[in-house]
Amino acid sequence: SGWQWCNGQPLRYLKWLSGFPTTQPGYSYGVLKNTFGSEWSNEPCSEKHGYICQRGHSVPTIPPVVNTGFCQSPWIPYSGNCYLLHRNKRTWMEARDVCLREGGDLLSILNTEEQSFAITQLGYLKTDELWIGFNDRKTQMLFEWSDQSSVPFASWEVGEPSHSALHAEDCVLMRGEEGKWADDICENKYGFICKKKASSKASNNDTVVTSPGCKTGWTRYGYYCYMAGSETKTFDEAKQMCEKAESQLVDISSRIENAFLVSLVGARPEKYFWTGLSNQKDLHTFEWTSTKQVPFTHFNAGMPGRKQGCVAMTNL
């Protein structure tokens, strides 16, 4: 899913020969690596890991609960920052000016968890094309964030950055279902995402709207509410805890739902979180605790193994 260095560093600086990189099959040069993260692995069911519960949300007419928080509405808090998606179209510089006036800057994305948050919890649509702060306006093919953040992570589309236009493509946008990055002409107009530091102390003007229809401590995504357990449990213990909460161990039906879960558990200290998937009944047949079919999997390399067990998602 895009180019990066073999040591895991994102592709920030490029100096391709004319005609490269090629998209010819097999021409990967040993640096093409999928870094979307949080792949699955099957583990012994007796081990204690974190876990994630999933439940249908309540009647949507329940009014949202408003509590004091660190981000002023309508900004969305995540991991010490506040985020706001704008769909009114601006050039890259115009978009940045809006963010600066609001006390922030264009979005910088520093890890998989933040990328996953951006595409699952800000109202992002797969049809969106949104400016972020990544650019090489100062030095051609040396990309940097407009807020001067370091560059430990990148999520380029395959074949990007391309600089294929007659005019320099010096600014970066995110687009498509997974929000992959592509360079574009800075004078083109797109929506954008702003990011700013959360307040260290809540004020009377700061409000956070909790997930409508979900209990406190649960986060809504799509038609369901999700909660990552606060204690490590065996698979059976985790299953029972979810059932006590009138829910079930999570079943994951798409890559985007998986991305949401990445953002949900990204700041947690646990390394593994139980999902509802297992092959306890039959070595060759995986099924969810909800008995649903398994249309989507995201197993890590070398997984599933040759033993029966239960499936956890990693937070590594």
pTM given for the model: 0.71
Q: How is residue 301 written in tokens?
A: 């390399």
d(CA 193, CA 118): 9
Claim to verify: residue 51 and residue 155 sit in the same structural domain: no
**Same-domain check for residues 232 and 296:** yes
| Residue in the block written with tokens 């049809």 | 127
CATH number of the CATH domain containing 179: 3.10.100.10
- Asked whether residue 7 is assigned to any structural domain, the reply reads no
Residue 95 lies in a domain: yes
pLDDT in single tens digits along all 316 residues of the chain: 455 555 555 555 555 444 555 555 544 443 333 334 456 666 778 888 888 787 775 533 333 333 333 788 899 998 889 999 999 999 999 999 999 999 999 999 999 999 999 999 999 999 999 999 999 999 988 999 999 999 999 999 998 988 765 668 999 999 999 999 999 999 999 999 999 999 876 665 554 556 667 888 898 888 889 999 888 999 999 999 999 999 999 999 888 999 999 988 887 888 899 999 999 888 888 999 886 688 888 998 888 888 889 999 987 6
Q: Which residue has the tokens 């094309």?
A: 129
Same domain, 57 and 161: no
Q: Are residues 192 and 245 in the same domain?
A: no
Do strands 144-145 and 248-249 pair parallel, antiparallel, or not at all (unpaired)?
unpaired
Asked if residue 229 and residue 144 are part of one domain, the reply reads no
Residue 25 lies in a domain: no
Q: Which helix (H) or strand (E) holds 219?
A: strand 219-221
Q: Does 22 map to a domain?
A: no
Domain that holds residue 238: 40-61+213-314
Distance of alpha carbon 67 from alpha carbon 216, whole angstroms: 11
Q: Do 49 and 272 form a contact (C-beta atoms < 8 A)?
A: yes
Buried b (16+ CB within 10 A) or exposed e, 236-260: ebbbebbeebebbbbbbeeebbbbb
Same domain, 193 and 106: yes
Closest CA to 102 of 130, 74, 134: 74
Largest CA distance in the chain: 61
